[in-house]
Structure 1
Amino acid sequence: MAADSKITLEVLRGYLNCPYLAHLLLAGKAGVKSDYEIVISELEQEVRLNVVARLRSQHTDQDLVTGVSLDAAALSNGTAYVLNAELQRDGFSIHFDGLKRVAGRSRLGNFQYVPLLFCGTNHIHKTQRHLLEALGLLLSRVQGVAPSFGIIYHGSHCAATKVRLPLGLPAANERFDEVTQIQRGDTLPKLLLNPHCPACQFRQHCHSAAVEQDSISLLGGLKQKELKRFARKGLFTLTQLAHTFRPRRKGKRSDRRSNHRYHALQALAIRDKRVYVLGAPDLISRDVQIYLDVESNPDEGFVYLVGMIVRDGSGETRHSFWADTKDQEREIFDQLVAVVSRYEKPAVFCYGGYERSFIQRMRRLAKRKRPIDKLLAALVNTLSIIYTHFYFPTYSNGLKEVAGWLAFRWSDPDASGLQSIAWRIRWERTHDGLSKAKLVEYNLEDCAALRTVTEFVKSACGSASAPTESGKADALPPMVMRVQDLDKLANNRTWGKIAFVHDDFEYVNNCAYFDYQRQRVFFRADKKRRRRIRKPGVHLNRRIRPTKRIEIKASKCPFCGGRNLVSIPKGQRAKGVNVRVKRAFDLVITPGGMKRKIIECRATVYRCLGCDHRFASEQYQRLAKHFHSLMSWAMYEHVAHRLSAGTLQQMFRDLFGLTVSDLEILMFKSLMARFYRTTYKALLGKILSGPILHVDETYVKLRTGKGYVWVLSSTEEVVYLYQPTREADFLKKMVRNFRGVLVSDFYAAYDSIPCPQQKCLIHLMRDMNQDLLNNPFDQELQSITKPFGALLRSIVATIDKHGLKQRRLARHLDEVEEFFRELIAQSPRSDAARALRERLLKWQGKLFTFLRYDSVPWNNNNAENAIKQFAYYREGTTGTLKEAGLNEYLVLLSVFQTCRYRGISFLKFLLSRERDIDGFCEAKRKRRRRPEIELYPPGFTPNHLKRLGGHKNLPGSSDSALE
């Protein structure tokens, strides 16, 4: 540091934007201020002059003093306003824009002061708020009390906004200590580029230094968390990061496009100076192409310039629509819509989402929405294609960098988004024609740059995705490479189909397959093998000897209800009433074993003497092919032991000699889920009316995309629910009448549920442990985790001895309060300790709720164990499930998990045909008489009848079926 370096207001403002900037300023360095920074300073000065003039006109000279040195003596006079003051202390010299006297006790008397700050922009940003906190902290050292608020004058109208300051200003105190350490040279901030860099006076200096260091922070879009994560892995340079890229293979059933951005691949592109194409990008191509770019001042909140380049078959035209004021914004938008409406099917390209947001905002104000909807439908965001699929050898995906790499150049080398804002502000102040001309030229050059980038992307899209006659994709330019080709170079495996040069080689290879040899070669040479092969003919299930034969009769006509019926012999039956012998299959399960049961069913055809209709019994039409016990055993194996339909199909054949297709097994799941739907609803109602509700969620990948499975659980009941998103709005409606304690993890969506909550302390403890492993030498972190561990251990020891009894646990409440009092008094400086402290204080009221209730656990194990059961099933079904099939499985899984929690046999419950689990547990198990036949539920059509064209549900009385 410089010998006479002092902490000034500029240093504080610089530190809030970038600690390295504060280091450079304290070292006495000077850079070249950007035009944007100069303009903002001029606006701030204008606000300062206007506010001072306003205050002078409203107050006398006795109520307003300027240019004083801040100390207790100067402020003890109680002047209403103190402007342009300086606070001089050892090591710092801080300029105060102003102070305002307010009521309140302080060292000065029955009044105190709050800081004033002048800001040139209309919007107040986080930097201004933090700077106001720092001024409030310094003021508290003079008057002995920290102000509770400050005032910021901002914008062209000099609006005054009251900003609340946190009690005690702990964050400001930490920031000031860090700046002081930089001043003394105790710490040296790392050079890390951030979003403030384009407006900084040291932008060229820092960028050159970062390039020399090959810093990872050169990559745009990297946040502080990601930089720290890379640092923990020992990755500090782009070259190191580039070596970590490994292409991820696409799943067989993965249909959804991933929007993930791989920073390692970006670093690889920079290292290799090559464009990498990931996946199969697609960019529409139309005869009419419009390249659109708009300019705005975000602080003013309106678009003042719209630029367009239109390319059609006749050539290229350029349009610029300018707005002097916000009132003219709708006019230039109408001009934009008018140009686009001239063409029937144009493709309108933009770069980023701002143009779409602008059009959608103007659509809400427009009377005629159809032309605007046409414009929105034609809009294509080139940046979204680049973000997902293209990795240019540039540090960011900004239009200036990408187009610059493609050799496009702007007429003004300093042209940028910030520079355009500075030009617009200067034009608004002076109406200078030169500034306007620069803006119009810059805007059209952005359109031309967009055209250059879009044409490159379009050519790369066609080469990367369009197959040629030889089956291979078109060759890409030398500077472009597919990531899949990079994967082939790294993994030269020989698995897969081989493309033989000679047809003879391919023929011989096809004859060498395992199945081909066993079915075509060995079969001819082995007579025993030929005899073992079953000849086509009667189905296996039709060849088994029946266990029982039943004739299905009817007692009344289903058409007129008459009971005067006569049976019709087989030879006299009319067309359409022919019946065949049906077979039903069941299992007889006893404590000693299982055996199959084959029921052969014949139906009598009747003629009604009252209405002359001929018919067979409705029971014959709805006769089930598989009975309840057989389906219960199959679903028991499927849910409890996670056996697949294919495995069950083989087990039926090997154990019982039955042929049951995988489609029929899926039908079992549907029928059983329908049967136990009332059980499922009863479980849900009991959980929501109970004293404790455990909640957790996990993801699931379906054929159609990603969804979430939620678990609601008590100590004895479990219910699984599927939702397409992770939003908890459905849960709020579902538990609106819940009056118990909600036990959950730290997912923020649960906070909006209005009931007492207990957070899972196991989650918190594991996170703490991971923080300790990541920061093994952080003493501040250990000063928090060690007392917390001791407190939790004493509570768990009481639980082990006395159980979850409130009268035993209440004695720990004082220990909890003491722990949080000590935590509040701490001011850790390490990031990990500070983050943990904030987390504990945030959840303070929900960490030890169980101490105030009986039988409330301190963890979420009931829900997590239920989630684990579903996770086992999810491993083998990723991307294969449909939503309907998943919902059916979740019904059965809810019943299984509830039986598991209660310690009863899931198989016995299914075989009992009970639907009330409480009734099954309490009642004596009487042996029920089995019905001779079982029927499909009304309206249900099994798969084997769907293939035959279905069957009609005849009118008549509804017989009880599998329900």
Structure 2
Amino acid sequence: MAARVAALETENAALREKLKAPPKTPDNSGTPPSQGRKANGDGEPSPKARVHAGAHRPLHPNPTRHETVRAERCPHCRADLDNVAQVAVQTYDRIEIPEIAPDVTRVVLHGGVCPCCAGRFKAPAPAGLAPGSPFGPNLRAFVLYLRFGQAIPFERLARLMRDLFGLEISEGALANLLQDSAPAFAAQTGLIKRRLLSGTVLASDETSVRVGKKTFWTWVFHHADSACFVIRPSRGKAVVSEFLGDVRPAVWISDRLGGAQRGWASREHQVCLAHLLRDVQYAIDAGDAAFAPGMKHLLQRAVRIGHRRSALADATLATYHARLQRALDALLKIVPDSKPGLKLQRIIKRFRQNLFVFLTDREVSPTNNGSEQALRPCVIFREVTNGFRSEWGAALYANVRSVLETARRRGIPVLRAIRLTLDAAPLPTGP
């Protein structure tokens, strides 16, 4: 009985200690911003300190038509103005969209019996109007954009096509249309992946998604003007191994997730300083006043230097790197005065060689924010549609997302990128 009481007292003490810990928020942990709570403000919002100058919509660079209007009579005395010199005093655009209606081409192929050989014949289909799917490439691209770019579920998408275009397309027909487009997007994603793996830097991250009744993971691998997404039932290193094959980038950028995100770089690994700064903030909130504040200042200083890299010489960056390392040595000699501070210091000691890689390699980012930004549309898609019914749908989404994100980075309009993919043309990589 005494042992049981002692165990309960120990557990009770541990729980009481846990209650004293500060709450996890988006500012001091990996808690998503959507789960953060904002305090209620007092009174009315304060007015803007400075009122910005007025703005107007710029004129369209390529108007469809021009209307040049001359005044015929004076609005004051009604005098005839036909022979009076006039200049342009006001120019503006009137924007309208044409009536939306499907453009349907009825194809009738004639045939018969050859009088010479008695064989049956049929006229060949015109170019671009072969039998098969009744949906043309522009309509197909529009459906792909609405489904995967705007996260519109099948039922709403069918209703939208009927209400906006007067076009009846069942949910099954929409699914078949998407499935027929899968090979084209798989081929385009293969080209994007080949370009991505030819570089020296790679960043990655992942987020959960539901496929059928199981939890899968949406992974993104990206750098510069290319990004690839894959959806797999695992969060482990097997996914990265499958994606990379025999390729090993010189530098890897990621968070600090176990073995899945570490050990892939042939040279160096840059950990995300944004994630680390949130851990530092938690240690500060938990009461550490010895080690964490100095560490926060050091990391913020490093990020500010990283933002100015384009204006700094290589020798200057090397000097900054050496100074930061010396400052880090001094900080690590400090004994934190709280458990979260001690935990933070252990993390810093473990990853210190991965903190400032970006200072000596201009292609490396100090944070993994690019991965989180690339995954944001995937999170929105997950929340709106609740995931995928089938694995082929998840695989198609990953490939379409690869094309859309790569097109965004290369400055290619979304619908043009989809049309290029459907036409089996590679996405351009230059201006």
Q: TM-score, normalised by structure 1?
A: 0.34
Match among 741, 746, 760 for residue 256 of structure 2: 746
1:656 paired with 2:165, answer yes
2:149 — aligned with what?
640
1:604 — aligned with what?
110
Give the direction of change, closer, same or farther, for the CA distance of 1:610–1:687 in structure 2 (3 Å limit).
farther
1:865 paired with 2:373, answer yes
Q: How many residues align?
A: 349
1:819 paired with 2:331, answer no
1:791 — aligned with what?
298
Give the direction of change, closer, same or farther, for the CA distance of 1:666–1:733 in structure 2 (3 Å limit).
closer
Is the contact made by 2:291 and 2:336 (CA closer than 8 Å) also made in structure 1? no
- SS in structure 2 of the partner of residue 895 of structure 1: helix
**1:606 Cα deviation after fit:** 4.5
What is the CA–CA distance in structure 1 between the aligned matches of 2:417 and 2:97, rounded to whole Å? Answer: 17
**1:862 Cα deviation after fit:** 1.6
1:667 — aligned with what?
176
Letter in 2 for 1:694: A
Alignment of 1:220-369 (within 5 A): 228-230=17-19, 232=21
**1:682 Cα deviation after fit:** 0.7
What is the CA–CA distance in structure 1 between the aligned matches of 2:164 and 2:425, rounded to whole Å? Answer: 29
1:717 paired with 2:258, answer no
Letter in 2 for 1:757: H
1:906 — aligned with what?
414
Alignment of 1:174-573 (within 5 A): 204-209=1-6, 216=11, 228-230=17-19, 232=21
Give the direction of change, closer, same or farther, for the CA distance of 1:816–1:626 in structure 2 (3 Å limit).
same
- SS in structure 1 of the partner of residue 362 of structure 2: coil
**1:678 Cα deviation after fit:** 2.0
**1:691 Cα deviation after fit:** 2.6
Give the direction of change, closer, same or farther, for the CA distance of 1:805–1:900 in structure 2 (3 Å limit).
farther
2:392 — aligned with what?
884
2:26 — aligned with what?
none
Task: Specify which structure has the bigger relative contact order, considering alpha-carbon pairs within 8 angstroms and separated by 6 or more residues.
Answer: 2
Letter in 2 for 1:771: A
Instruction: Please report the RMSD computed on the Cα atoms of aligned residues, expressed in angstroms.
Output: 3.0
What is the CA–CA distance in structure 2 between the aligned matches of 1:795 and 1:719, rounded to whole Å? Answer: 29
Is the contact made by 2:112 and 2:121 (CA closer than 8 Å) also made in structure 1? yes
Is the contact made by 2:356 and 2:366 (CA closer than 8 Å) also made in structure 1? yes
**1:233 Cα deviation after fit:** 8.2
**1:646 Cα deviation after fit:** 2.0
2:135 — aligned with what?
626
1:761 — aligned with what?
273
Letter in 1 for 2:278: R
Structure (1/2) with the larger strand percentage? 1
**1:876 Cα deviation after fit:** 2.2
Is the contact made by 1:745 and 1:759 (CA closer than 8 Å) also made in structure 2? yes
1:917 — aligned with what?
427
2:43 — aligned with what?
none
* 1:93-138 deviations in Å (ceiling 9; x for gaps): xxxxxxxxxxxxxxxxxxxxxxxxxxxxxxxxxxxxxxxxxxxxxx
Is the contact made by 2:294 and 2:331 (CA closer than 8 Å) also made in structure 1? no
**1:744 Cα deviation after fit:** 0.5
Identity in percent: 21
2:79 — aligned with what?
none
Alignment of 1:927-942 (within 5 A): none
What is the CA–CA distance in structure 2 between the aligned matches of 1:846 and 1:612, rounded to whole Å? Answer: 79
Alignment of 1:73-222 (within 5 A): 204-209=1-6, 216=11
* 1:707-755 deviations in Å (ceiling 9; x for gaps): 1111011122111101111111242354332333111111112222142
1:837 — aligned with what?
345
1:875 paired with 2:387, answer no
2:203 — aligned with what?
694
Give the direction of change, closer, same or farther, for the CA distance of 1:209–1:751 in structure 2 (3 Å limit).
closer
Letter in 2 for 1:599: T
**1:906 Cα deviation after fit:** 0.2
Letter in 2 for 1:752: G
Is the contact made by 1:804 and 1:856 (CA closer than 8 Å) also made in structure 2? no
Q: TM-score, normalised by structure 2?
A: 0.72
Letter in 1 for 2:341: A
Letter in 2 for 1:741: V
What is the CA–CA distance in structure 1 between the aligned matches of 2:387 and 2:221, rounded to whole Å? Answer: 24
What is the CA–CA distance in structure 2 between the aligned matches of 1:609 and 1:675, rounded to whole Å? Answer: 43
Question: Structure 2: which 5+ residue stretches go unaligned?
Answer: 24-95
Q: Considering only CA atoms, is the larger Rg found in Structure 1 or Structure 2?
A: 1
